[in-house]
Structure 1
């Protein structure tokens, strides 16, 4: 088994529930993760996505109201922001919750032209992620020289661990910067293994991290039976299929409603593809599958990001996973 177990939550909205409830669900899950013994709890950044309420991850991380578990982002999309502002935000978090803050960073920009225009960004901004990352780290350690008269208070001088998401050139950027890598998903194991191998090969030790560190992220669903575990996956799988055929990413619907839908052949193909390959089943089955993931990837940490309509089933799945890992 992978040594450390963590959770990433995207604050998915559910049909019939307001977006505010999705954020309250995230806070509840953070507290549950802490009680169950998970290593860290992260939240994500999305803008103008109907099915996701988490648009301000640093704010949401502060609102998680936990006491021991590490909290952070998976991640803040750095091209959407000024590095100094990101440094200040994480500095405030670290000042409030010392020794418990993680700074997960990604290179994506808004996924539609309208969102990018609203953010004042374009697709080319992702190409500057490596320079933005270096600037952000410079604001934290006091080495930035572009604005010598300016300081990012209260961030300057604080040690806030940074992690890089492996989108695009993220893995190589993480290796060159000497930072931990977050890579997904669990279904594309050959591709993930290639990314991890390249990262480890190119890794350059830094003052922050002396050896490669890999966090692998993906969906895990556990229930009393394999069929019940599969039903946990159904709402997210349908949402993904819907987004690829209808152009929008909808709130989660109950599994029984989705099973009664008359899907087009294309929708059904995408739906079945979205269901396939995830780690799911009984506790015994998932133990075997995760042991295989650990052997293939050699990952140091598993970051689980599971979404479903049924919150009771979701919380039970996370509790079963904690028992498997002996948390």
Structure 2
């Protein structure tokens, strides 16, 4: 079954690098994606995470768009409860005006942060309950059919900024279906409800002005290399680093040897962390292609959002290149949703 291929770039700040290095890497990654037939690159809003530099998501999108030619770029996603719909409409109306036909807006309702950061964002946790209403308000601003009397988003682009609902539970699936919007499931780090959520989305979908039929997108981790062993080594290094980062956010912060990290990942708590990256394609281009095809078929995915996690930027670029080339004959990149 044909499917489109895209990328989620976490704008990773590797050890010994700066945020500026990360942004240069993001430009290189998007340029590689553009050369190798990917449909879009998305950036996610995270806060108070030293290893992720995409907190000012719309600014990063604009920077990368200015250094690419045609690939779609967007948020995967903006955590809407952190913002007023008007401000996001203004930001993405500006981006679409500058780069017409290239800007996406994916929306999530999670905070993208911890409880202390919620306070620093001046966010009331209960605002997540207003997410459906805020999505409609934002949609109105972007379309010029404002739901707030006497208020318009300026600038408003002449071309459409498509909306996507992101989620990792049945709530997002139901909302996307009700609004007739594409649904992107965060299976690259929260895989448990994937199949049930996709089924609910397809079964309850209502056509809308933006979308006539359900459109399913799913996140998946990828380590593609010239040899199987090389890909496995990259995965091991990257997931050890991820475990260290997760531990460092809790009370057990400190330096841990590789052996200690491996022991933790084999423990009950560690297995839970490992389970978050259950869907990971690792190996040669042929092995990665087979894994992605089987994964896409299992949920009837229209598009896969690949997250390439190799610690070294050259390895990430190679993974993007190899995956794109391997899927070129199997992916549908002709249309745009």
Determine if the TM-score, normalized by the shorter chain, exceeds 0.5. yes
TM-score (norm 1): 0.90
> 2:36·2:324 contact (CA, 8 Å) conserved in 1?
yes
C-alpha displacement at 1:187, in angstroms?
Answer: 8.0
Q: Which runs of 5+ in 2 are unaligned?
A: 330-337
Q: Which runs of 5+ in 1 are unaligned?
A: 249-256
For 2:188 and 2:147, how far apart are their aligned partners in 1?
40
Counterpart residue number, 1:266:
264
Secondary structure of the corresponding residue to residue 193 of structure 2: helix
2:324 paired residue among 311, 322, 325: 322
What are the superposed Cα offsets for residues 42-82 of structure 1, whole Å, 9 maximum, x if unpaired? 11111111111111111111100211111111011101101
**Matched residues, number:** 319
My pick for the range that moved more, 297-306 or 160-169, is: 160-169
For 2:72 and 2:257, how far apart are their aligned partners in 1?
38
C-alpha displacement at 1:144, in angstroms?
Answer: 2.4
> 2:285·2:323 contact (CA, 8 Å) conserved in 1?
yes
Secondary structure of the corresponding residue to residue 54 of structure 1: coil
Secondary structure of the corresponding residue to residue 73 of structure 1: strand
Secondary structure of the corresponding residue to residue 219 of structure 1: strand
Matched, 1:48 2:48: yes
What are the superposed Cα offsets for residues 274-300 of structure 1, whole Å, 9 maximum, x if unpaired? 665511111222222122112211100
Task: Quickly say closer, same or farther: Cα 1:326–1:265, change in 2 above 3 A.
Answer: closer
My pick for the range that moved more, 199-208 or 118-127, is: 118-127
> 1:163·1:179 contact (CA, 8 Å) conserved in 2?
yes
> 1:279·1:290 contact (CA, 8 Å) conserved in 2?
yes
What are the superposed Cα offsets for residues 6-42 of structure 1, whole Å, 9 maximum, x if unpaired? 1110111111111221121111111111122211111
Counterpart residue number, 2:150:
149
Counterpart residue number, 1:20:
20
> 1:109·1:122 contact (CA, 8 Å) conserved in 2?
no
Counterpart residue number, 1:247:
249
C-alpha displacement at 1:5, in angstroms?
Answer: 0.7
RMSD: 2.4
Secondary structure of the corresponding residue to residue 115 of structure 1: helix
What are the superposed Cα offsets for residues 169-218 of structure 1, whole Å, 9 maximum, x if unpaired? 11111111110011131587673121111001111111111110011111
Secondary structure of the corresponding residue to residue 305 of structure 1: strand
Counterpart residue number, 2:4:
4
1:192 paired residue among 191, 194, 204: 194
